[in-house]
A = this chain, B = another copy of it.
Amino acid sequence: MRMSVGILSAIHGPADVHALDAAELPALCGEIRTTLVRYGHVHGGHIGSNLGMVEATVALHRVFDSPRDRIVFDVSHQSYVHKMLTGRADAYLDPAHHDSVTGFTNPAESAHDQFVLGHTGTSISLACGLAKSRDLTGGMDGGSGIRNVIAVIGDGSLSSAIAFEGLNNAAEQGGNLIIIVNDNEMSIAEDHGGMYGTLTRLRATGGKGGPNLFMAFGLDYRYVEAGNDVFALIEAFEQVKDTDHPVVVHIHTRKGLGLPPAKESAEARDSGIPMEGDAAVAAEDSMVFEGRHEANHWQDPDSTTGRPLGARKHYGSMAMAALEPRFATEPGLVVISPATPGSNGITRAFRERAGRHYVDTGIAEEHAVAFASGIARAGGRPVLATSATFFQRTFDQLQQELSLNGTPVTLLDFGGGLSGADNTHSGVFDIAMFGNIPGLTCLAPTSGRAFLDMLAWSTSQSNTSPVVIRVPGDTILNRERSGDLPGDAQDVTDMGSADDTCSNACSEKTTADGTATCPWSRYRTIRRGTTVAVLALGNTLPLGWRVVEALASDVRHPLDATLIDPQQFSTLDAATLTELTGCHRIIVTLEDGQLEGGWGDKVTAFYANAGLRDMRVLNFGAAKEFTDRVPLDALNERYGMTVGNITARIRSESRG
């Protein structure tokens, strides 16, 4: 049902904001806030940061003239109000249209959106680029069609590596550039870092207390305490409009303004008896209130209530529960999370209990990896948890500080694999990223038990080199919950037929690069068959199992296929692959990641270069492309990763 909100409904673009009576602006802000809260309850989203930015966004569109004036929203979590004011209000007012816009800015959606953005810290650099182009083509009044260039960045994003590079380069570049620092005193969880003391001092002194970080980078600076007062903001923005040099406008806003106050939620939390595991995580998820949003920065309290936790939080909290009892006797065991602990089941309660065994670096993934390497070099055993998509930000540290130095850090890679995620947060590229770094052991557990075994080993003193564990996803969790996941350690020997000519003795081995000597370097045979071997990596094991079952249950031409859980994607198990040639003709690889640069192609190349020309290899995985909110089923269909398609391809080959 479409909401009835008189002023907002009549806004079809910035010109309508300009045309309003000033007296109507507070009412517009009120309507927007109501709309956001209602939208958040129905649809979920980054509601907290948007609630804090209501007045600032209205003021931006009142003072400036988008798209002639260009606004770049950092990470663009906070762009919902901007979308409402630039012709997309219906997407927030009408539940039927909630999915008509993405959660991020997108030039394909509107001329008012400059970039597709979802990782923090890049807005200043991108804005510098827009401004540079403007200044090369005639400046503010030239032919570029660009006038003011504005970057909007939160205090949490400001701790990202590239944001500092942007601040440092902005002053040198000179010319018109306005950097709005939206200071709501919160990152996704708490802010972390020495500069937040400086921001606190600036807030306490009305922007006057030094040392001023922004001025230290050579930038002009203004402070607006009343960051939720639309008129104060309009006045401040009018003052910097058409500036001839870079200026920071530091505004103090209230995250989640319009949600219930914190007190109620805190009481709710403190009244209960202590909870553990999924229940504890779920309890924190329900704590959405004014000023704080951290258990899950994507807030969707209503829709998650009563539902089981997703894989990230389930396996994340399971890992923390396994590590916590060891803190007392293992001083060097440390969990590091760059800013998004709640999403990965690292609850506030755990963090408080962990004390100095837990470090939140803020949104500073690069530091987090190098920091972890330093800890490990001095004998500690750090565990660094973040999303697959955010590990991309640390590629050079993964290679240089971690793998080249061979330090025993454990990386927990959450959200890897195919999903219906936004194009900015895809986890489909992680196998190709991690799997091609020399000296990095890449494990892909296929059950909670295997996950914990791998974590126990990687954080033990027997492990002496870096390890990434790709945390299992929902396909694994769903099978575990339904109780019919094959291949838990205790199941192996009972599985499958007994063609022992293809036996696969499990033993440790030393690999070519000398680093992956780990208990999982050999592939694990779950079911022994002949002719066809299905190698199903990580999250695809349930699919592989269903394929094998379908082949076996074919009434007319049953096929007794082998099913293998490779367990890792850093080295090929040449012994097992060679052994398979004895009684198999068709090898099928499954992975829920991009095929190009991924894992399956390496199996194919192994057989080709080993001169085993009679082996036929079929690779299933994702195409090299960005996908945006395409449902998982549709992706599996698109990539042929269905039981029907895979068995048909196998049938076709086995007849060929």
Contacts and interface: CB of A to CB of B under 8 A. Distances in A.
Interface of A: 70, 72, 107, 114-119, 122, 125-138, 144, 146, 159-162, 164-173, 192-195, 197-198, 210-213, 215-219, 331-332, 334, 356-357, 359, 361-362, 364, 366-367, 370-380, 382, 392-393, 395-397, 399-401, 403-405, 423-424, 429, 432-433, 435-436, 438-439, 512-513, 594-598, 600-602, 604-605, 608-609, 611, 613, 616-619, 623-626, 653, 656
Contacts of A400: 116-119, 122, 392, 424
A375 B193 contact: no
Contact of A396 (B371, B382, B395): B395
Nearest to A620: B609
B167 A332 contact: no
Given A400-B119, A513-B623, A605-B600, A193 B169 contact: yes
A120 to B, nearest CB: 10
Contact of A133 (B119, B380, B605, B617): B380
A625 B437 CA distance: 8
Contacts of A164: 161, 164-165, 168
12 contacts: A115-B373, A125-B374, A126-B401, A129-B373, A131-B374, A133-B375, A162-B370, A169-B362, A195-B217, A211-B212, A438-B626, A604-B609
Most buried by B among A72, A119, A653: A119
B619 A609 contact: yes
Contacts of A378: 70, 129-130, 133-134, 144, 146
A133 B374 contact: yes
A132 B334 contact: yes
Contacts of A375: 129-130, 132-133
A165 B195 contact: no
A207 to B, nearest CB: 13
B193 A366 contact: no
A429 to B, nearest CB: 7
Contacts of A595: 605
9 A-B pairs closest in CB distance:
A129-B374, A194-B218, A171-B194, A161-B161, A436-B597, A133-B378, A164-B164, A125-B370, A395-B395
Contacts of A193: 168-169, 171-172, 217-218
A141 B534 CA distance: 56
B600 A367 contact: no
B376 A624 contact: no
